[in-house]
Amino acid sequence: MDPGFAIGLGVLWVVLNLLGRKKKSSDPPARPPAPRPQPRPPVTLPRSTGADPTQREGARLQNLLRELGKTLDQAAGPRGRPASVRLPPAEEVEERGSLEEMPEARSLEEDIRRPERIVVDSDDEAEAIAARRIAAVEANARPLGAADHRAFDARIRQEPADATATRAYSIRRLRNAVVWREILGPPISLREGDER
């Protein structure tokens, strides 16, 4: 058992014992205390028998808990209520009014005004749409020649260079990339292909 736990229980027992004594001296008892069952005598193990230190510590803790229980019984009334506080009469409890209010039913739904849905019917224009698609396919279905490649290259080169340029990597960005790979990547033992 942890010695810090035993010390904590001892300090708690002393504090409760002092509070119980202070309460006895300041408040006269309102009624005579009810007879309490007699506790069992404390368990003590003689040191000469060579008992295990854990058994001796267990016996000391048992004595400490028994004393703590006696102190708590003296400080509190039934069900944890202080002995000086009396229960209210049953009639007084029955006459108390309820603080609950009846729930008020109210609909949270509101009328939502939505515009009328526009129906798109392409059946009448189906032939024109099909003809446009066929024309677009036929325009792109021919083999590309050198002139097509030159036109494509000229169109690409007219775009601003900023859209395709990449920034140079600094030492700081590389360091951050390695750190994030270690954080987000799999553990070293599960990485494949990393031979060190």
For the record, the structure tokens of 39 come out as 């506790």
Report, in angstroms and rounded to the nearest whole number, the Rg of the chain calculated over CA atoms. Answer: 44
Q: Nearest CA to 68 among 121, 15, 147?
A: 15
Residue 42: its pLDDT value, please? 57
Residue 180: its pLDDT value, please? 93
CA distances 187 to 173, 180, 183, 194, Å, are: 22, 13, 9, 11
- More confident of the two residues 75 and 141: 141
> For all residues of the chain together, what is the average pLDDT?
77
- More confident of the two residues 3 and 176: 176
94-107 average pLDDT score: 73
CA distances 117 to 106, 113, 120, Å, are: 30, 12, 9
CA distances 70 to 23, 37, 47, Å, are: 15, 10, 26
Residue 167: its pLDDT value, please? 72
58 neighbors 42 (Cβ within 8 angstroms): no
pLDDT in tens, 36-91: 666 566 555 555 556 788 888 889 999 999 998 888 777 665 566 666 777 766 66
3-state secondary structure of 160: coil
Residue 38: its pLDDT value, please? 64
16-31 average pLDDT score: 67
114-129 average pLDDT score: 85
Residue 106: its pLDDT value, please? 79
pLDDT at residue 26 greater than cutoff 80: no
The rounded distance, in Å, linking the Cα atoms of 155 and 151 is 6
22-49 average pLDDT score: 58
Residue 126: its pLDDT value, please? 87
Residue 146: its pLDDT value, please? 92
- More confident of the two residues 156 and 168: 156
Q: Nearest CA to 84 among 28, 134, 152?
A: 28
What are the backbone dihedrals phi and psi of residue 138, each rounded to the nearest 5 degrees, phi first?
-65, -30
The CA-based angle 99-104-107, given to 5 degrees, is: 155
Among 56-60, 137-141, 162-166, the range with the most confident prediction by mean pLDDT is 56-60
